[in-house]
Structure 1
Amino acid sequence: MDSTPLASAEIASAIQQLESSNTPNKAQSYSQLLRKILDSSTPDTLAPNLIAYIESILGDTLGIVASRPLLSEFAECFKELKNPEVKVEVGQRAFEILHPRAGSFEEQDTAIKESVAQAYQQEEDYVSAARVLQSITLDSPQRRVSADYKAELWIRIVRCYLEEEDPTSANGYLNRVKNILPDVQNRETRVHFHLCQARILDSQRQFLDASSAYLAISLEPMVEEEERLTTLSEAIKCAVLAPAGPQRSRTLARLYKDDRATSTEEHAILEKIFLDRLLEPAEVKAFADKLKPHQLALTADGSTVLDKAILDHNLLAASRLYANIHIDALAGLLGVDRERAERDAAKMIEQGRLAGHIDQIEEVVFFGGEGTGEKLQAGQSQGDTTFGSALKKWDANVQGLAEEVERVTTMLQNEHPEFYEAHMVH
């Protein structure tokens, strides 16, 4: 066959001689030629020389039996190439030649595709890398593919799509891994699966679930210490971004009590949120600078997820500081207009994430009791809830006083029975 016009004259001549010769050691001569190409080619001629070589070994001169070991050797050398552009250029031509004959060279085709995908990743072209990996044949009668290899390959695809902020495509391949996960033996692959799952939950703004998943990975002994701290930081970020409420409070408590939390940059904001302290704008901005783009995406009302989370938190913090507050004062405290302050307070109360009620005539928000509110029972108003909470506290105080009087009376009876008989018994 004709060699590529861009190949160096020396290599083109050597290939032509090999193709026309009938020596019994032709395969060995091809191996020597491959080493010569790798050792002597210039950066400009390396790609065309390799293309000419692969076109020759997969041409009509050699049969499949002779071509297969030569292609395996080529795939091994191809993997070690440092220049990703050369890998992509040569690999694309190799795919074109191998496509109609892929069934005869499945292992070699797979090895070349893995190398090209790696090159695309080096160039940060993650979509192209994912597409190359997706073209690898996994269900074939020619070779048996283990569950571990399938899972590893699909996780590579998932990670490529996550780099492109495409959680939908990533989730499709993660579900494939999930279906075979019981058969996966490699513990590292299983850890990568859980990390990808956490990243997808994070990308889909399911922040509480993502925080729990990140925290679980941060406790995995086989993960490097630095990576564990990184995932712990991600767990804290997601917990901060989650909607305020009892579940978030439990997650924050677990993170705050983790001894490693003090080693993270997010510890200061975690402590303030856990202790229900108001957050200052400067603190929020410093935290926002560390977030990923999807964590700062705008919501339907034009605010970010972080804005909403901080507003909800400061509302809860205000409920710890005040028994009641005028809506205008609350708006000033939260740094929003009065309509937004009233709307968000009402929504949190309605969802059972904040105990209290709003007197719209007096324009005052009343905070009822400690902690977040319970959801209302049918037919029960917010005022009923607040009054009921106050009544329970009153009952508890009366009960405590009665028990204390009873305790003192018993002591008098035991220590001074005469005085007790004279003054206490009627």
Structure 2
Amino acid sequence: MTTPHTTSSPIDILVLGGGFAGLNTAFQLSNYPWTRPVRITLVDRNDRFLFTPMAYEILTGEVEVWEIAPLYRDVLGNRAVTFVQGNIERIDLAKRQVQVGERVYRYDYLALALGGRPNFRQVPGADKYSQPFYDLGHVQAYQKHIDRVLDRAKQTSDAKARKALLNFLVVGAGTCGVEVSCKLADYLDAQAQARGLERKEMEIHLIDRNERILRGVAHRLEPIALDALQRRNVSLVLDWGVTKVTPEGVEIRCDKQGTLKQVAAATVTWTGGIEMHPLLADLPIEKDPHGRVRVTQRLEVPGQPGVYAMGDATHFPTDDGKGLPATAQVAVRQSEIAAWNIRADIEGWAKLPYIYIGLGEMLTLGIGEAGADAFGMCIGGTLGAAMRRTVYLTKLPTMGLKVRVGGTWTNEIAKSLLATGERALDAVRQTAAQAQANRAA
């Protein structure tokens, strides 16, 4: 147990990163009935929080930006949290200060929740010529890119150029790659009809160097995802690795002998994993081979009193040594423990360990369709989408936002379930009619 602070000066708590881990840490800290003054500062380079699991719905118009990407000033409201928008330039653990833009902020306690960034390092050209799908800016830029490509295709008569324009490659068959592929397919369905293009000309290829899709935390949903991809005519290119991205497309290693193949495409969507924030690499702290910050079971950074880390950028000790999945549910639960332990450190109380309990996984599989692995069951289709939307409604960051979007989402969930019920009844009627016809024959 740490000796409690005795001075009456305010304690500065600095939270770096406004994703699920960082924002919820600030929330939890601001909720506590402090026995002495504290100053809580949340720093992020963006002005909006993004409910990342639903970013895909922006592409297809299923949600509006305000529903899943509210401004931090609106999310924080009257909470005793100061929000600072800016780029973090330097973290000085020795001096216990952080430079944001031109300003330096000192801290007594530091919460590192910087998350990750798209990992382009292994593939030359990926950072310049591919379209990442990681934050709100990426999603909005992606939609504009797709629209420009379709406009060019409509105006192009050259068969070779047109084929490249209408060839869409998605690199990485994890959850993000599968979700993007399904949403892109549905978006292209609508855009082909609206723009007078032939949908059958448009091809989507999901590429991964592994032999299977969803090798991470959502692997139990593989059969449901495969069915969704097949119905959308998404071609799986597995056990092939992208070795280079160029302005014309990609270079792919297509066999064990290292044979290379050039594939022309105007759109290369990059979902090939994440890397850690570059500032973490320079910190004199222990990291795993992937650059993630190693933490104790209490989410402390070893050798750095008062410094805690959580979320995607951390390596939590597990029995298998692989760490925990980079999911929102892990980040939120870790933030609750980190916030408590910061308070316990200040008050001189016992700290708590973080205990990982997987609550299941969900992924969107197109408009009005999702897969949900929860309560020991894997559910797909519109029922999976209803479950996913219901769960995510409860996870939105504020009650005000829940109320604002609740009516719209509840109506969509009800319509989706009603449509499912009607299709089931139609199937029953058709089966009964067929059985009667067979008896009559």
TM range (shorter): under 0.3
- Report the TM-score when normalising by structure 1: 0.23
TM-score, scaled to structure 2: 0.22
Structure whose CA Rg is larger:
1
Q: Flag the structure with higher helix content.
A: 1
Structure having the larger proportion of residues in strand? 2
